[in-house]
Amino acid sequence: MLCAHLLKLTKRALNRRYGPLPLRFILIELLSKESFVTNSMWRFIRPDAVKVWQDPQTLQRLPRYRAIIDQERIAKFLLAKQVAYDGELSKATEELWKDHSSMSIQFREFVHAVDCGDAEPAPVDCLEPSFLDLKVELAHRILENCHFCERKCGADRTHEEKGWCKLGPDSRVSSAFLHTGEEAPLVPSGTIFFSSCCFGCVFCQNEDISTNPNAGRPVSPEDLAKIAGSLGEDGALNINYVGGDPIPNTHTILSSMKYQQFNITQLWNSNLYCSEETMLLLTDIFDVWLPDFKYGNDACAQRLSGVQNYFEVVSRNHLMAYEAGEVIIRHLVLPNHVECCTVPILEWVAGNMPNCMVNIMGQYRPEHRVLKERERFSDIARMVHREEMNAALAKAEELGICWRPVS
């Protein structure tokens, strides 16, 4: 959005007075072309996003993602529409989950066969009901007794009951644009920001979105598909669902994929505090994962984000994502939390997810409740010291973690 605004200002300035006349005409013409702006401008802003693909470590860790960009592989959500579900969607929930479980195994074999050239994707666009329809139905069953995240509020959101995230059945999008600030392999990223969140981080840097369930505008699955489609047309390498957090909006996101046509990577950008059922719905569909790994123990998670059983839940979900797709973990280094959080996380990742990448982030700044309750959160009421970042990066290096291409 900022980029578009800057372009508008530049065009206006050029139109008014600056530069020799022929040069002004050429620049105005170039800036007027959508394709130049969207497909090329990011290359100047983020040259590292081009260079990163010359790094063998990136290619080794994100091969399928790269192949989708090059149109040599098919995004999984498109394949999920090509596998017919031969049961009845009106079955009892337990029966649907049994069917889902067996279809999931078949679907992974199908994806592998298509990738290897041993199976042809169906020529028809969409079989109904499909494996994706089964997932959409199960997502709506979860919404009736909401357990999209591990808070498991049990609210019937289909009847406007609200749980901890204060969301009803509708999803709201606060903004959507080509993001040039994400990790280098993801730029430009077609990022869609959902309102509200299932976490309560005291240092949240997006509190205007995450704490306000009424931020933005409501979107139907069709609206969301149109947003994703136009981001794809503008040159996005991926559709990046974030917030707040996408978890409470799983039903809308999965439903929108029925209407999405672009062969484009689907990216889940989340705190990953999903319930196991939500993870089962997502793992067949999302190609790339961008999960936060925030805390190395439950006590810090409880105090700073208000969630229980953090490490067990989030490590389980990281493993599920790693088994099914390609993963870039985000770890925000917190001041005074290198020993209790950063080190245990990096050790766990090195031992369990050796082929993933980790963005070790040093941009923490006190925000939100930390600013208002400095004494209560005195441990994180400052920026991260250089020595703390150096210690975090040295630990990652010592453990052989791949962090440089994405940090």
> In angstroms, what is the minimal distance from the CB of 307 to ligand SF4?
10
Binding site for ligand SF4 (CB under 6 A): 146-149, 151-153, 155, 163-165, 167, 198, 247-248
CB of 201 to ligand SF4, least distance (A): 14
In the complex, least distance from residue 86 CB atom to ligand SF4, rounded to whole angstroms: 31
At its nearest, how many Å lie between ligand SF4 and the CB of residue 229? 26
Which residue's CB is nearer to ligand SF4, number 212 or number 263?
A: 212
Work out how close the CB of 155 gets to ligand SF4 at its nearest, in angstroms, rounded to a whole number: 5
- Which residue's CB comes closest to ligand SF4? 163
Residue with the two structure tokens 């990281």: 318
Alpha carbons 249 and 63: distance in angstroms, whole number? 28
The residue behind tokens 């979105």 is 209
Helix or strand or coil: residue 238?
Answer: strand
Structure tokens at 150: 């591990």
Nearer to ligand SF4 among residue 149 and residue 328 (C-beta) = 149
DSSP string, 350-385: HHH-TT-EEEEE------HHHHH-TTTTGGGSSPPP
Nearest to 320 by CA among 284, 296, 347, 350: 284
The least distance separating ligand SF4 from the CB of residue 298, rounded to whole angstroms, comes to 18
- Report the C-alpha gap between 155 and 147 in whole angstroms: 8
Residue appearing with tokens 């440089």: 404
Residues 6+ apart with CB under 8 A from 320: 276, 279, 280, 283
**Pairing outcome for strands 238-242 and 189-194:** parallel
- Residue where the block lists tokens 């199960």: 138
Query: Closest CB to ligand SF4 among 186 and 274?
Result: 274
Q: How far from 72 is each of 82, 83, 114, CA to CA, in Å?
A: 18, 20, 11
Give me the least distance between CB of 260 and ligand SF4, in Å please: 23
Which residue number, 184 or 247, has a Cβ lying nearer to ligand SF4?
247
